Structure 1
């Protein structure tokens, strides 16, 4: 991602559409408007222009354009926008013409946001929130992503960093004047302030993680072959996604289906039937993967014999519609055929998943952010347990470094490509 290049991409939905927006960012962005329209329109004002192919003068489109000089733009660079009529052929032709212009190239995935980060328009925590915003499918995901992308966590981190800087200044002053005859020694308030801030940070480590919000509450359905796992899976997601037959061993691999229930994101997993021995190599692989899925799940619906499921599972008796079915001591009794008990089970799943999700107004941090908050917390706790001002100063330095890494001010090169690769082209 060469920052000196001028990049372009379709940033609206795939055509056909009423309007197709092509974004251009980089040092030649405004010159593109002159090349296609013969002039650069008034800055920051929507203007109608006839855009033509510089090669032969043929009309491309008569449309609205925007000239947006940097650095007060989304990327911090000169930008331009072409608000074209949204036909496939037109969009393809304009992109082809742009690709022929000197110094222009198609943007890579996430490159606009990468440039915004590089140019200080957003920090890393805001960029991560923006990535979540683009993939949000439920109201819970949307609220958390909007808070992160809007800088809620970043503002909090800046406040924590300012507190650490204030304590650090006092500690450094104490160190500088330690040799004075009238020096009173270490102020016990330093340690108390470190402990108080560590306690404040620790509450963030007890909160739900953004991963469960992004990926959904993971529910795996497990049990022996022909226990009704696939039928229950289909009934819960209200879709014939899994093949359900009376033949044992029909399900050979784990089947995943993300779905929202009651506004809560879920990931349901149908697994292969568990049994001790099988002569089928493919089934054996499926059984191994089933065990892995049950271990990863936030909750397991166990359709096997009572007491044999994983710790914390919900025991579910299926096929209650069959003649002669005897009610067991399972927590739930359901029939995928008649629908008996399905709504009760679904309601219980929504309730437990909602408890695992962030509460209204509560911000969920991801694993990377939580790890750095934990580093800062540990450093501050160390400072709260010692009286040597030099050691306290070192703990405060470590805490500041963790905050800087959280915001992307240092030590982030190893994960930037992975983050911005989550974005679509044009964002």
Structure 2
């Protein structure tokens, strides 16, 4: 654990009403006394203090600002160290002057995520809680905020630690069977352990069979708009976005690359992508655009397949073949459509008009319903990262091997591997190889 004292601006750079500097380390209190020329305030109490450029004994010291200061005494702080917060006026000149004074006092500017790394090192947060905190800072929608907050407050950690505790108890029984074979141990000890492994394996299998809801909620529900050229895909994207995100032109083949916008639909993050019109073309650039469109559609969570109402009932059968359960089928330019109930191969089409707005509410409702069904995590906290899933799959594999292991020594080894896999998720074992990746997600000052 580091013995130096660090500082950083914990609020965004620029002009604001209030800016917050955070200090952490053994010299935090000493530096606060130096800058204020006053004794430390009582811990966890916000108090008004004037901040100066140097110690009170320096006759050339300069008043920097009139601020609120808070002192947190270790270990009752975010990092577990002595921590100071300086709530100052958010002018660029004030921020620069206080940063200069802190550097002159011998403090080091923190690296990205270093405050949170120190919280982990001092046992204030585990890795799951830290990742939840990073997601909370990055959350753009209500559903993302709720999921991140559940993880940051330890719901996922509690679930995994309960599994880990049960495995450690089972492992202790196995160790007893190995080390004390002549003792009067329960005759059904192995059967009890196997039952524990069976129950845990079933719970982990259920947890993994979540259709990647938590991961999709972090990243956003992916929707690809596809269709022939000039059916109004770009106009539809602009309508959904409420702005001119894509170029609209009567010239076929205008859209060459994938253009993506972020939507917040009832709190769920939805990423809608406009793609190149699907057709045969001698133009190499347009061919690449079509290839990207097809690839985007292949990996999208949902396809928005658009047909042209101006030429209805004519349509490209090759595009109609792409209609499946992961698709909403739209007939754009509905103002030209006389058919009250248009359909393709028995599949109803949603009539909309990107020009007039007709049917847009119904389309948004359909998109929202699909996103909610796919992303709602339910009562149990959701998996949010690939590394969690990989560790749980390793744990599950060890449990299944342990249930069929022919000797107690092999069963105990599989139990140890299962415990280790769960511990790597929360940081209860050596995890140096994943720490840097996790903490890089944070900004300076956090």
User: Do they superpose with TM above 0.5?
Assistant: yes
Distance 1:242 1:187, change over 3 A: same
Query: Are residue 79 (structure 1) and residue 76 (structure 2) matched?
Result: no
CA distance, structure 2, for counterparts of residue 17 and residue 31 of structure 1: 28
Q: Which one of 134, 155, 165 corresponds to residue 152 of structure 1? A: 155
The CA RMSD over aligned residues, in Å, is 2.4
CA distance, structure 1, for counterparts of residue 430 and residue 293 of structure 2: 38
Match of 1:23 in 2: 22
Distance 1:183 1:233, change over 3 A: closer
Unaligned 5+ segments in structure 2 are: 308-315
CA distance, structure 1, for counterparts of residue 185 and residue 217 of structure 2: 56
Distance 1:333 1:101, change over 3 A: same
Match of 1:401 in 2: 420
Q: How far does residue 360 in structure 1 lie from its aligned partner after superposition?
A: 4.5
- Deviations 1:264-316 (CA, angstroms, capped at 9, x unpaired): 2111111122223332x433332232222112210011225353326433332
Q: How far does residue 160 in structure 1 lie from its aligned partner after superposition?
A: 1.0
CA distance, structure 1, for counterparts of residue 46 and residue 269 of structure 2: 39
Match of 2:364 in 1: 346
Q: Which one of 314, 323, 339 corresponds to residue 328 of structure 2? A: 314
**Secondary structure, in 3 states, of the residue corresponding to 1:187?**
helix
Q: How far does residue 15 in structure 1 lie from its aligned partner after superposition?
A: 4.5
Distance 1:80 1:352, change over 3 A: same
Query: Are residue 380 (structure 1) and residue 399 (structure 2) matched?
Result: yes
Contact 2:141/2:269 (8 A) holds in 1: yes
CA distance, structure 2, for counterparts of residue 193 and residue 167 of structure 1: 7
Q: How far does residue 209 in structure 1 lie from its aligned partner after superposition?
A: 3.3
Between 296-305 and 239-248, the greater mean CA deviation after superposition: 296-305
Contact 2:214/2:377 (8 A) holds in 1: no
Q: Which residues in structure 2 correspond to 1:96-175 (within 5 Å)?
A: 96-102=100-106, 104-175=107-178
Query: Are residue 253 (structure 1) and residue 257 (structure 2) matched?
Result: yes
CA distance, structure 2, for counterparts of residue 141 and residue 335 of structure 1: 31
Distance 1:292 1:96, change over 3 A: farther
Match of 2:5 in 1: 6
Q: Which residues in structure 2 correspond to 1:263-282 (within 5 Å)?
A: 263-279=267-283, 281-282=284-285
Match of 1:194 in 2: 197
Query: Are residue 290 (structure 1) and residue 308 (structure 2) matched?
Result: no
Match of 2:214 in 1: 210
Distance 1:282 1:177, change over 3 A: same
CA distance, structure 1, for counterparts of residue 278 and residue 27 of structure 2: 61
Query: Are residue 62 (structure 1) and residue 66 (structure 2) matched?
Result: yes
CA distance, structure 1, for counterparts of residue 75 and residue 192 of structure 2: 44
Match of 2:409 in 1: 390
- Deviations 1:99-137 (CA, angstroms, capped at 9, x unpaired): 2332x2222222211211122210100001001111112
Contact 1:99/1:106 (8 A) holds in 2: yes
Contact 1:8/1:426 (8 A) holds in 2: yes
CA distance, structure 2, for counterparts of residue 220 and residue 414 of structure 1: 36
Q: How far does residue 405 in structure 1 lie from its aligned partner after superposition?
A: 0.4
> Which TM-score applies when normalising by structure 1?
0.92
- Deviations 1:223-249 (CA, angstroms, capped at 9, x unpaired): 222221111111222222111111111
Contact 1:191/1:387 (8 A) holds in 2: no
Distance 1:419 1:318, change over 3 A: same
Unaligned 5+ segments in structure 1 are: none
CA distance, structure 2, for counterparts of residue 388 and residue 313 of structure 1: 51
Query: Are residue 422 (structure 1) and residue 441 (structure 2) matched?
Result: yes
**Secondary structure, in 3 states, of the residue corresponding to 1:303?**
strand
Contact 1:64/1:84 (8 A) holds in 2: yes
Q: How far does residue 176 in structure 1 lie from its aligned partner after superposition?
A: 2.4
Q: How far does residue 416 in structure 1 lie from its aligned partner after superposition?
A: 2.4
Between 111-120 and 145-154, the greater mean CA deviation after superposition: 111-120
Contact 1:191/1:386 (8 A) holds in 2: no
CA distance, structure 1, for counterparts of residue 164 and residue 271 of structure 2: 37
